[in-house]
Amino acid sequence: MAETAVDISSARAAQAVGHPLRVIAVASGKGGVGKTNVAANLAVALGRQGRRVCVLDADLGLANLDVVLGLAPRLNLLHVLRGERRLSEIIVDGPAGVQVIPAASGFEELTALGAAERIRLLDEVDALDLGLDVLVIDTAAGISGNVLYFTAAAAEALIVITPEPTALTDAYALMKVLATRYGRREFLVAVNMASGAADAEAAFARLARVAERFLAVRVEYQGYVPWDDAVPRAVRHQVPVVLAAPSAPASLAFAQLAQRVGGRPVAGPNGGLQFFFRRLLGEGGR
Ligand SMILES: Nc1ncnc2c1ncn2[C@@H]1O[C@H](COP(=O)(O)OP(=O)(O)O)[C@@H](O)[C@H]1O
Ligand SMILES: [Mg+2]
């Protein structure tokens, strides 16, 4: 059934507009390392830097991106899959012009999507023209199918670690699957909740050493975000910290991370959102 959905690519994928879209999946292996906060603040910081940004909440079990962004969407991708709503109707406007696609539970396993649902979703994506510069994807923890599909379909994978040994081993496990099973050769890494630059760089170096040696991948450091109680405070107020406390150390670090990540040349083929979704549903059908 998957094949039929993927076959649609021929005619329309060829037309997929050439607007250069950067697609970044934020992933980690371990939960609680700050993926959602990184995704939300990166998106808002990029938005404030003038980029047109959309965030896709792909943590389908524990969707909480909307909470961090202060949104309460009533509709999600499930409504689109059921044919009840247009994709354009479920997208919500977040802070700094960031648009949010709530995925939510029910859209649990991409592999469980039938051909009709895939075609409907792809048609909806084709009909959408957000003129995006960046799509940021907030993924779930672990190495479940969905995490792998979303991350594999994204041209860039930003792995978030903390200096804890468990965060490093879990990140390594995720990178290993993405490298061996999906052929990913390059990873971006950000260290969250570090006590300072030296702490972050040491954690990055430990991960990079084993990944480069045993997986033969390129690992590129993108910076760190210090542990900062402005972050949990902002979460409690449901405002991303870059807006709630713009001069807090974590906010300055998120802005810098956005400059760094956003300043890289756009990786991968530039087929826009349409291309990403085709690739996603293709991978999901394996
Ligand atoms: N830099 C930071 N400093 C302090 N607390 C943080 C930081 N980043 C995230 N947190 C806190 O860690 C918890 C987990 O963050 P979250 O973004 O939900 O992680 P994940 O999405 O990886 O599960 C949240 O309570 C958040 O407030
Ligand atoms: Mg999360």
The residues, ordered by sequence, that sit 6+ positions from 276 with a Cβ below 8 Å of its Cβ are 21, 23, 135, 153, 154
pLDDT at 144: 85
pLDDT beyond 60 at 13? no
Q: 100 - beta bridge partners? A: 55, 92
Q: Which of 159, 231, 238 to mutate to test the pocket of ligand 1 (most atoms within 8 A of CB)?
A: 231
Q: How far apart are CA 73 and CA 70, in angstroms?
A: 10
* pLDDT for the residue 107: 65
**Least confident segment among 3-7, 67-71, 120-124:** 3-7
**Which residues, in sequence order, are bridge partners of residue 221?**
189
The DSSP bridge pattern shows strands 99-102 and 92-93 to be antiparallel
φ, ψ for residue 219, nearest 5 deg: -125, 125
pLDDT at 177 over 60: yes
The three-class DSSP label of residue 276 is helix
- What is the average pLDDT score of the chain? 89
- Find where tokens 């969407």 sit: 73
| Residue 122 or 17, more confident | 122
Q: What is the CA radius of gyration of the chain?
A: 18
3-state secondary structure of 25: strand
**Nearest ligand for residue 64 CA:** 2
What is the token pair recorded at 54?
Answer: 């959309």
Q: For 19, list phi and psi in degrees, rounded to 5.
A: -65, 125
Residue type, 62: L
CA-closest candidate to residue 105, choices 78, 137, 86, 73? 78
Note the pTM of the prediction, 2 decimals.
Answer: 0.91
Residue 20 CA to residue 26 CA, distance in Å, equals: 19
Terminal Cα-to-Cα distance of the chain (whole angstroms): 10
Residue 73, pLDDT score? 92
DSSP, res 111: G
What tokens does 99 get? 């648009």
DSSP helix, strand, coil percent of the chain (3-state; round to 5): 50, 15, 35
Q: Tokens 């199918």 map to which residue?
A: 145
**How many angstroms separate the alpha carbon of residue 147 from the centre of ligand 2?**
12
Query: CB under 6 Å to ligand 1: residues?
Result: 28, 31-37, 141, 192-193, 225, 227-228, 231-232, 235, 250
Residues 6+ apart with CB under 8 A from 164: 30
More confident of the two residues 151 and 63: 151
Name the pLDDT band for 158 (thresholds 50, 70, 90).
very high
What separation in Å is there between the alpha carbon of 213 and the centre of ligand 2? 29
What digits encode the pLDDT tens for the residues 102-115? 986 666 677 778 88
Q: Is the pLDDT of residue 1 over 90?
A: no
DSSP 112: G
CA-226 nearest atom, ligand 1: 1
Going along 166-279, which residue ranges are E strands?
Answer: 186-194, 218-226
pLDDT of residue 268: 67
Q: Indicate which atom in ligand 1 lies nearest the CA of residue 138.
A: 21
Q: What average pLDDT does this structure show over 106-130?
A: 82
Token readout for 75 is 């509709």
Ligand 1 centre and the CA of 241: distance in Å?
11
* Residue 165 pLDDT: 95
Ligand 1 atom 24 nearest Cα: 232
